Amino acid sequence: MSHFLNKRKRSAAVMLLSLLLLAGIAAAGTWTGSERLGVDLDARNQAPSLMHLFGTDWLGRDMFARTVKGLSLSLWVGVIAAFTSSLIAFVLSVAAVWNSWMDRMVTFLIDLFLSVPHIVLLLLISFAFGGGFIGVTVGLALTHWPSLARVLRAEIMQVKHTEYTQISRRMGKPGWWIAVHHYLPHLLPQLFIGFILLFPHAVLHEAAITFLGFGLPEEQPAIGVILSESMQYLSMGMWWLAFFPGLSLLLMATAFEALGRNIRRWMDPFYGQKGS
pLDDT digits (tens, 9 = 90+) for 156-193: 888 877 777 777 778 877 777 777 777 788 788 888 88
Q: Which residues of 109-131 are buried (b: 16+ CB within 10 A; e: fewer)?
A: bbeebeeeeeeebbbebbeeeeb
Per domain, the residue ranges of the chain are 2-32+76-267
pTM score, whole prediction: 0.80
Does residue 47 surpass a pLDDT of 70? yes
Q: Does domain 2-32+76-267 correspond to CATH entry 1.20.210.10?
A: no
Distance CA 166, CA 244 (A): 56
Per-residue confidence (pLDDT) for residue 236, from 0 to 100 = 83
Q: Name the residue with higher pLDDT: 185 or 245.
A: 245
Cβ contacts of 163 within 8 Å, gap of 6 or more: none
Each residue's pLDDT tens digit, 192-229:
888 888 888 888 888 888 888 777 777 777 888 888 88
Q: Give tens-digit pLDDT for 10-38.
A: 777 888 888 888 888 888 877 776 767 77
